[in-house]
């Protein structure tokens, strides 16, 4: 593997899907052998990951996989709710038939994978497919919001959120709820009901909020 973007994406997937466990020290001199490239190429990719919060970096200590915390999970969940609610409502106002078609197609793929999970023992392989399909659905949901900044910020928050909740998500404990909730979000979008889609996005993500801790941010009133 010698394409820098492929190396970056490969490392990003490993640190967000459990391929590298929390607090693991990421040594460019070791990782270079996994990607058949130079240590400097790995170091550049790790610096890029550190700028979006997916890798921790400290002088003299190097790079590490971040350790999940309740505080980070709560704040990232809260921010994801805010961004998706706003992005979805803007897309409802501005998106046309093409947006509806793309969203329906993204949901169809996600729903198919989620239903397959229920009867499969190969959860890890399906988890990778599910994670990509789930991200595609939520990104499509906000894709016609008209704000590149909102979409870029959401992409960054989404990846950090997924990294925080990987251990619970990989068990597919909530798969039945996810099927119902994703369908509900799609239905609200196609009905172009802004109040309903805000409520359903919140209901979909609220289990990841940590209410029993002193929150820095107030609970959303949906």
User: Which pLDDT score, from 0 to 100, does residue 221 have?
Assistant: 46
The total number of structural domains in the chain stands at 2
Q: Does the pLDDT of residue 168 top 70, yes or no?
A: no
pLDDT at 40: 93
109: closest CA among 142, 84, 143, 140?
140
Torsion of CA 203, 209, 215, 219, to 10 degrees: 0
Tell me if 82 is assigned to some domain. Answer: yes
Boundary-marking domain end, from 26, 42, 64: 64
- Same domain flag for 90 and 189: yes
183 plus 127 within the same structural domain:
yes
Are residues 17 and 106 located together in one domain of the fold?
A: no
- 10-25 confidence digits (pLDDT tens): 899 888 877 788 899 9
Q: Model confidence at 165, in pLDDT bands (50, 70, 90)?
A: confident
Order across the sheet with 62-64: list the strands: 25-26, 62-64, 56-58
Q: Please report whether residue 222 resides in a domain.
A: no
79/54 same-domain check: no
Confidence (pLDDT) at 173: 56
Does 22 fall in a domain? yes
The residue range of the domain holding 108 is 70-208
CATH number at residue 43: 1.10.10.10
User: What is the overall mean pLDDT for the chain?
Assistant: 88
- Residue 219 reports pLDDT greater than 60: no
């Amino acid at each position: 593997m010698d394409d820098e973007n492929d190396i970056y994406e490969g490392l990003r997937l490993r640190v967000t899907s459990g391929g590298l466990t929390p607090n693991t020290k990421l040594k460019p001199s070791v990782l270079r052998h996994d990607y058949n490239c130079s240590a400097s190429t790995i170091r550049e990719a790790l610096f890029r990951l550190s700028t979006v919060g997916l890798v921790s970096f400290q002088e003299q200590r190097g790079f590490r996989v971040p350790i999940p915390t309740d505080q980070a999970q709560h704040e990232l969940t809260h921010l994801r709710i805010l961004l998706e609610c706003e992005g979805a409502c803007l897309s409802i106002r501005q998106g046309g038939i093409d947006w509806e078609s793309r969203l329906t197609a993204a949901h169809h793929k996600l729903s198919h994978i989620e239903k397959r999970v229920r009867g499969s023992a190969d959860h890890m392989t399906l988890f990778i497919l599910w994670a990509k399909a789930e991200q595609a659905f939520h990104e499509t949901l906000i894709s016609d919001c008209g704000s590149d900044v909102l979409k870029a910020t959401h992409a960054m928050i989404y990846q950090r959120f997924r990294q925080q909740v990987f251990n619970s998500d990989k068990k597919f404990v909530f798969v039945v709820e996810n099927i119902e909730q994703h369908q509900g979000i799609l239905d609200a979008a196609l009905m172009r009901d802004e109040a309903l889609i805000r409520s359903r996005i919140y209901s979909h993500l609220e289990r990841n909020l940590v209410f029993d801790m002193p929150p820095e941010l107030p609970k959303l009133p949906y």
